[in-house]
């Protein structure tokens, strides 16, 4: 059944960790804290008891064997009442409680709580970000990674410590001899389990505040988005102002060009009129000279005509009067014409100056337009950057809202639970693996010792640890009188303990490595596994 809510899952995890912490603290209080055992004296006491029983040191494989003998073997009264003898019983009791409570119950229970609940339901939903950099999510995911790494490393260290404790526990004489080491190892295991519980509590505390952390970041982004909108609005207004100024300047430029063209045409007209007036003055001067020359010649001709007839006198007089009137008339036109010419030249100068001014004005307006247009590209770039940031903020806000919804609603937990159920559907594959291990154990017998070191471990397991595993399995087999087949099966079970991702393909591949080709092919055919090499 899926969890009712994230809060309910928090309570469940805290309940389990609190219970385990309490049990471990009680165990430490009973068997670790304040305990003072003189182990060398205990060894001497055990040697005396074994001597009385006529038993060899190696005959008592475990503390159970020792307690079994104590129940029906006679022990000297003085020895039985000694502190060392009581300490021997205390060592047995401590080992018994450690194996039954810590190793076999609390450690597996805590592992299930961590892997099936804490790891599964207290997640950051980082995949929902799809590459977007959201600080609260990144920080939580980083912390989760550290939490997982810390917890996984602690569990691996606990597994190694439990193996060492098992190694120290047989034969019983070695357990007493190395009692101080066992005590230290047991205390280390307890402390590591307590550390895991404390890490889980810290994880839960951070997970409870995760939604609020996202909300705080959302507020920052929303405030930032408003500021960006204001900046965008200001830039739009600035752009509109520049465009309006460009349009106004272009209008002034057109007016200047129009005035320039008008003045240019006026200048040409004035130049033409000046040329006409100048031609007129030239003609007047020429005509005056001609008239004067004609006047003087007429006078000369009249002087040569002597005697003059009255008629000729009248003709010459009329002729001279006419020429003199023409000279006076044309002479009178020169002054007004020259004044008119001066006026035209002055108008031309003014027109030229005005034309130049309009030309300069048009060029200035053109430069202003060019400078104004140069201001637009940087603003466009800044606007695009703001738009991109607004778009990014909105995308991040949408993702953060989605993650907060995932945290709040139970459907998310149901989906995660359904994913777990999908994994549970792989149970037939697990059953096939267990059946295959049973078959291989029966077929290989004592050769399991060649197979075990070749099996893959995730995370990797050092060679010396594998060698020690084999030694412990041998000791256990001798103690419990196990067959090679039973010993092989125990070895494969230990492999699955240290390699939670162990599968049929890995087993078949290892069998081929140790040249058990027929057995590997038989498993492939039986369980319809594709060729594995």
pLDDT at 470 over 60: yes
Q: Please calculate the CA angle 99-103-107 and round it to the nearest 5 degrees.
A: 155
- Mean pLDDT (the chain, rounded): 85
pLDDT confidence of residue 423? 42
pLDDT at 330 over 80: yes
pLDDT confidence of residue 361? 92
pLDDT above 90 as % of the chain: 28
Q: Do 235 and 307 lie in a common domain?
A: yes
Full domain range(s) for residue 370: 229-408
Pair 428, 154: CB distance under 8 Å? no
pLDDT at 23 over 90: yes
pLDDT confidence of residue 265? 93
pLDDT at 533 over 60: no
Domain presence at residue 274: yes
Of 408, 442, 475, at which residue does a domain stop? 408
Residues 6+ apart with CB under 8 A from 284: 330, 333, 334, 337
pLDDT confidence of residue 314? 86
The whole-number average pLDDT for the span 370-385 is 92
Q: What's the farthest any 2 CA atoms get from each other in the chain? A: 204
CA 426 vs. chain centroid, Å, equals 33
The whole-number average pLDDT for the span 503-508 is 82
Pair 301, 320: CB distance under 8 Å? no
> Which has the closest alpha carbon to 135: 20, 22, 221?
221
Q: Do 246 and 106 lie in a common domain?
A: no
Position of tokens 């256990």?
476
pLDDT confidence of residue 240? 94
pLDDT at 422 over 50: no
Helix (H, G, I), strand (E, B) or coil at 447: helix
pLDDT confidence of residue 421? 40
Q: Do 258 and 378 lie in a common domain?
A: yes
pLDDT at 300 over 90: no
Q: Do 462 and 401 lie in a common domain?
A: no
Question: In angstroms, rounded to a whole number, what is the distance separating the alpha carbons of residues 475 and 464?
Answer: 17
Q: What is the pLDDT of residues 116-143, one digit of tens each?
A: 888 888 888 888 888 888 899 899 899 9
Cα torsion through 384, 385, 389, 390, rounded to 10: -30
Q: What is the pLDDT of residues 223-250, one digit of tens each?
A: 998 999 999 999 999 999 999 999 999 9
Pair 163, 468: CB distance under 8 Å? yes
Domain presence at residue 60: yes
pLDDT at 16 over 70: yes
Q: Do 366 and 246 lie in a common domain?
A: yes
Domain presence at residue 221: no
Domain presence at residue 62: yes
pLDDT at 456 over 90: no
The whole-number average pLDDT for the span 473-501 is 78
Q: Do 324 and 362 lie in a common domain?
A: yes
The whole-number average pLDDT for the span 283-305 is 86
Of 148, 179, 208, at which residue does a domain stop? 208
Cα torsion through 11, 13, 19, 24, rounded to 10: -150
pLDDT at 84 over 90: no
pLDDT at 211 over 90: no
Q: Do 318 and 440 lie in a common domain?
A: no
The whole-number average pLDDT for the span 265-279 is 92
Domain presence at residue 414: no
Domain presence at residue 89: yes
Cβ atoms within 10 Å, residue 481: 7
pLDDT confidence of residue 420? 45
Q: Sorting pLDDT into bands at 50, 70 and 90, what band is 102?
A: confident
pLDDT at 190 over 90: yes
pLDDT confidence of residue 353? 94
- CATH number of the CATH domain containing 299: 1.10.287.1700
Q: Please calculate the CA angle 523-526-528 and round it to the nearest 5 degrees.
A: 95
Q: Do 287 and 402 lie in a common domain?
A: yes
Domain presence at residue 417: no
Q: Do 83 and 118 lie in a common domain?
A: yes
pLDDT at 522 over 70: yes
pLDDT confidence of residue 371? 94
Per the structure, how many domains does the chain have?
3
Tell me which range, 79-83, 242-246, 439-443, is most confidently predicted by mean pLDDT.
Answer: 242-246
Domain presence at residue 216: no
- CATH number of the CATH domain containing 484: 1.10.533
The whole-number average pLDDT for the span 406-410 is 74
Q: Do 289 and 368 lie in a common domain?
A: yes
Q: Do 54 and 134 lie in a common domain?
A: yes
Q: Sorting pLDDT into bands at 50, 70 and 90, what band is 177?
A: confident
Q: Do 165 and 61 lie in a common domain?
A: yes
């Amino acid at each position: 059944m899926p969890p009712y809510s994230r809060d309910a899952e928090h309570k469940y995890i805290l309940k389990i960790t609190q219970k385990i912490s309490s049990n471990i603290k009680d165990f430490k209080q009973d068997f670790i804290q304040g305990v003072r055992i003189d182990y060398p004296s205990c060894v001497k006491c055990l040697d005396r008891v074994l001597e009385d029983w006529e038993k060899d040191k190696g005959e008592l494989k475990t503390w159970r064997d020792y307690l079994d003998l104590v129940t029906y073997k006679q022990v000297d009264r003085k020895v039985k009442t000694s502190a060392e003898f009581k300490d021997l019983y205390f060592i047995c009791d401590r080992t018994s409680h450690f194996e039954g409570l810590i190793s076999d119950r609390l450690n597996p229970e805590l592992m299930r709580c961590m892997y099936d609940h804490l790891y599964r339901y207290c997640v950051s939903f980082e995949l929902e970000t799809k590459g977007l950099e959201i600080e609260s999510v990144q920080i939580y995911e980083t912390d989760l990674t550290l939490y997982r790494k810390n917890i996984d490393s602690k569990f691996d260290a606990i597994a190694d410590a439990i193996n060492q404790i098992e190694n120290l526990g047989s034969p019983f004489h070695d357990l007493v001899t190395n009692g101080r080491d066992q005590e230290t190892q047991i205390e280390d295991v307890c402390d590591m389990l307590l550390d895991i519980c404390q890490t889980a509590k810290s994880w839960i505390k951070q997970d409870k505040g995760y939604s609020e952390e996202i909300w705080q970041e959302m507020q920052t982004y929303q405030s930032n988005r408003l500021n960006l909108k204001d900046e965008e609005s200001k830039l739009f207004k600035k752009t509109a102002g520049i465009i309006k100024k460009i349009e106004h300047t272009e209008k002034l430029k057109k007016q200047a060009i129009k005035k320039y063209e008008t003045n240019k045409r006026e200048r040409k007209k004035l130049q033409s009129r000046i040329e006409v007036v100048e031609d007129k003055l030239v003609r007047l001067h020429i005509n005056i000279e001609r008239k004067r020359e004609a006047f003087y010649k007429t006078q000369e001709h009249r002087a040569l005509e002597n005697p003059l007839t009255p008629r000729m006198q009248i003709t010459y007089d009329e002729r001279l009067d006419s020429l003199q009137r023409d000279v006076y008339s044309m002479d009178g036109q020169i002054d007004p014409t020259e004044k008119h010419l001066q006026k035209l030249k002055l108008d031309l100068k003014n027109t030229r100056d005005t034309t130049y001014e309009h030309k300069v004005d048009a060029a200035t307006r053109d430069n202003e337009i060019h400078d104004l247009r140069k201001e637009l590209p940087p603003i466009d770039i800044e606007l695009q950057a703001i738009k991109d940031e607004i778009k990014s903020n909105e995308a991040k806000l949408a993702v953060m809202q989605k993650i907060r919804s995932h945290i709040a609603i139970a459907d998310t937990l149901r989906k995660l639970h359904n994913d777990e159920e999908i994994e549970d559907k792989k149970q037939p594959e697990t059953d096939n693996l267990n059946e295959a291990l049973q078959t291989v154990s029966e077929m290989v017998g004592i050769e399991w010792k060649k197979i075990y070191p070749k099996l893959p471990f995730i995370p990797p397991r050092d060679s010396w640890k594998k060698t020690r595993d084999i030694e412990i399995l041998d000791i256990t087999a001798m103690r419990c009188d196990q067959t090679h087949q039973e010993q092989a099966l125990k070895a494969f079970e230990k492999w699955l303990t240290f390699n939670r991702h162990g599968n049929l393909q890995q087993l078949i591949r290892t069998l081929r490595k140790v040249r058990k080709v027929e057995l590997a092919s038989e498993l492939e055919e039986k369980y319809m596994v594709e060729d594995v090499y």
